[in-house]
Amino acid sequence: MRHFVAHRLAAFGPYEDAMPAGDPWLAHSMLSAPLNLGLPDPLEAARDAEHAFRAGRVPLASAEGFIRQLIGWRDYIWHLYWYLGERYPHLNRLHARRTLPRWFADLDADAVAARCLSDVLAGVRDRGWVHHIPRLMVLGNCGLQRGWRPHELADWFHR
């Protein structure tokens, strides 16, 4: 968290949704996995960002954007999973029927012609991580557009 506040938080606001090839971390904190494991306290991380703003080290948009993601979006999703329970990954309102293709399941980024999809798959394959925008906008939308079964895609994300 200290490294993030000192080196990347200032750029988080304007670049939190950017997806440049060749810079997978950009302005992200890399705290998602530790937070999901309960290691750092989300409220403490939010306070660190607030203190950096109040000390004039980061702009308001960056501190606010990080805090909103941390105690807004994370909490919303966490409660969504609890509210919908185990049935959530099996909801299929659009009646998607196609199974995940082997190249996707195997993270074969070289089998993909679309550069953005290839780059994101390579990131998952090589680092085991990509930030939320590639997960949502590239991988999630790819599955939605191709009619892949939601429970298969959810299982793939969890694995």
Higher pLDDT among residues 56 and 15, named by residue: 56
Tell me the C-alpha to C-alpha distance, in Å, between residue 15 and each of 12, 132, 152. Answer: 5, 12, 31
Res. 23: pLDDT tops 90: no
Whole-number pLDDT of residue 147: 97
Average per-residue pLDDT for the chain: 91
Domains and CATH numbers, the chain: 2-87 (1.25.40.80), 92-158 (1.10.579.10)
Q: How far apart are CA 139 and CA 104, in angstroms?
A: 9
Res. 36: pLDDT tops 90: no
Res. 89: pLDDT tops 90: no
Mean pLDDT of 114-121: 93
Q: What's the distance, Cα to Cα, between the start and end of the chain in Å?
A: 26
Higher pLDDT among residues 81 and 149, named by residue: 149
**Contact indicator for 141, 96 with CB cutoff of 8 Å:** no
Whole-number pLDDT of residue 87: 86
